[in-house]
């Protein structure tokens, strides 16, 4: 656990001095103060994260898609078969999924991480954007037993940290989270309900578009899983929550977020699976919210619940529920623009424009 402990010890709240400088600069740009709304707050937050005013322009964003399978799929919580997880990984690697199209549009690279896909992925083309961090071939059925043991949960977190470090070392300056895993909205809703002490009925959505009967079953499954977990685990420890209810990809997303915060690199959170990982990270270190942006508001009800706990406001609301990192990728231009405004926009003085009295 040395990497995890060292990472947590190295996370601080950022430099408020640069946030103050950024606020002063925002107020002196050629616009009424506050007129760019949330865009101004994003720029100030970037300055605080980077310790620089104006903040450094974002030039090299990346979407990291963590993929894993789930034993709870045996409880009939999704109409999709498990092999779709691996098939979608190949779709990402071929560059033909929704997230690839959006990432290409906004100028971001896409990496795929095998955190625990049931089938082994054959990377015949030696795609450099494929990273193997497989903890196991699918988690266990959380209704019957813990998803993974405690040590595996720690390994998930540390492997996610390593992915963040690898991408930052490769020059990426804005990280975005993505996910793939058939059935993964079930453990995500379970984590969110457990950590926020929310009724599973209120935290559970339709995922890939299940009908009423399957939704009812899904809620019952989540309630059963939480009840079992509470009887066998100390859920005040977020690593125990991950062990009892989580997924390999959810744990690695949590570590990825921790790693970004440790390296003072902004990270965009995607939908409900990423937010479940963010809650695990948040319970380990509340300061991760200082480095995180909520890319969008997923229509999955657990997303709004998680965002409230994280004290984050979504940058866009497009009624998305696909995952993959699509919502996070769509918000990349907003964060780029926020940095560029503080860099490139004229002040009243430099533009010789009269300010108000």
| pLDDT tens, position by position, 30-59 | 999 999 999 999 999 999 999 999 999 999
Spatial separation of the C-alpha atoms in residues 122 and 87, rounded to whole Å: 11
**Cα–Cα distance, 129 to 110 (Å, whole number):** 7
Task: State yes or no: is 324 an active-site residue.
Answer: yes
Residue spans per domain, the chain: 61-331
Q: What is the pLDDT of residue 332?
A: 98
Predicted confidence at residue 357, as pLDDT, reads 62
How many residues belong to the chain?
357
Q: What is the pLDDT of residue 232?
A: 87
pLDDT of residue 124: 85
Read off the pLDDT of residues 212-247 as tens digits, 9 standing for 90 and up: 999 999 999 999 999 999 998 899 999 999 999 999
pLDDT confidence of residue 117:
98
* Regions in the chain scoring below 50 on pLDDT: none
Alpha helices for the chain (secondary structure H): 2-9, 16-28, 38-50, 83-93, 98-106, 150-169, 185-196, 200-203, 212-232, 238-245, 248-262, 272-284, 301-310, 326-330, 332-344
In angstroms, the CA 24 to CA 151 distance is 47
Q: CATH classification of 61-331 is 3.30.420.10, yes or no?
A: no
The residue among 137, 249, 134 whose CA lies nearest residue 191 is 249
Q: What is residue 352's predicted lDDT score, i.e. its pLDDT?
A: 84
| Whole-prediction pTM | 0.97
pLDDT for 1: 80
DSSP assignment of 164-181 equals HHHHHHTT--EEEEEEE-
pLDDT at 97: 98
**Backbone φ and ψ of 38, nearest 5°:** -65, -25
Among residues 75, 290, 324, 349, the one annotated as catalytic is 324
């Amino acid at each position: 656990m040395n990497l995890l402990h060292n990472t947590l010890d190295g996370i601080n709240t950022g430099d408020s001095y640069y946030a103050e400088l950024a606020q002063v600069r925002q107020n002196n740009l050629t616009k009424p103060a506050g007129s760019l709304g949330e865009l101004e707050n994003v720029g100030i937050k970037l300055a605080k994260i980077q310790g620089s005013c104006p903040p450094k322009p974002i030039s090299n964003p990346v979407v990291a898609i963590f993929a894993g399978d789930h034993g709870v799929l045996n409880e009939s919580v999704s109409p999709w078969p498990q092999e779709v997880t691996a098939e979608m990984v190949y779709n990402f690697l071929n560059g033909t999924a929704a997230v690839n199209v959006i990432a290409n549009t906004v100028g971001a690279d896409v990496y795929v991480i095998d955190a625990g896909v049931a089938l082994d992925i054959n990377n015949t083309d030696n795609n450099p954007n494929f990273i193997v961090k497989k903890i196991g071939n699918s988690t266990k059925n959380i209704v019957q037993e813990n998803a993974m043991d405690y040590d595996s949960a720690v390994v998930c977190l540390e492997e996610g940290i390593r992915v963040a470090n690898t991408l930052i070392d490769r020059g990426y300056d804005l990280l975005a989270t993505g996910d793939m895993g058939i059935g993964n909205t079930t453990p995500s809703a379970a984590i969110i309900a457990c950590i926020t002490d929310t009724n599973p009925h209120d935290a559970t959505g339709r995922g890939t578009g299940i009908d009423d009967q399957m939704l009812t079953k899904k809620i019952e499954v989540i309630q059963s899983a939480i009840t079992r977990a509470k009887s066998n685990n100390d859920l005040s420890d977020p690593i125990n929550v991950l062990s009892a209810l989580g997924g390999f990809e959810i744990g690695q997303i949590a570590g990825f977020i921790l790693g970004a915060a440790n390296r003072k690199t902004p990270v965009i959170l995607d939908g409900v699976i990423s937010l479940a990982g963010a809650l695990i990270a948040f319970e380990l270190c509340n300061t991760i919210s200082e480095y995180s942006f909520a890319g969008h508001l997923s229509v999955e009800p657990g997303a709004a619940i998680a965002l409230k706990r994280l004290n984050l406001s979504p940058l866009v609301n497009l009624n998305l529920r696909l995952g993959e990192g699509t919502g996070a990728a769509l918000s990349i231009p907003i964060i780029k623009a926020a940095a560029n405004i503080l860099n490139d926009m004229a002040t009243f003085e430099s533009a010789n424009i009269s300010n108000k009295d």
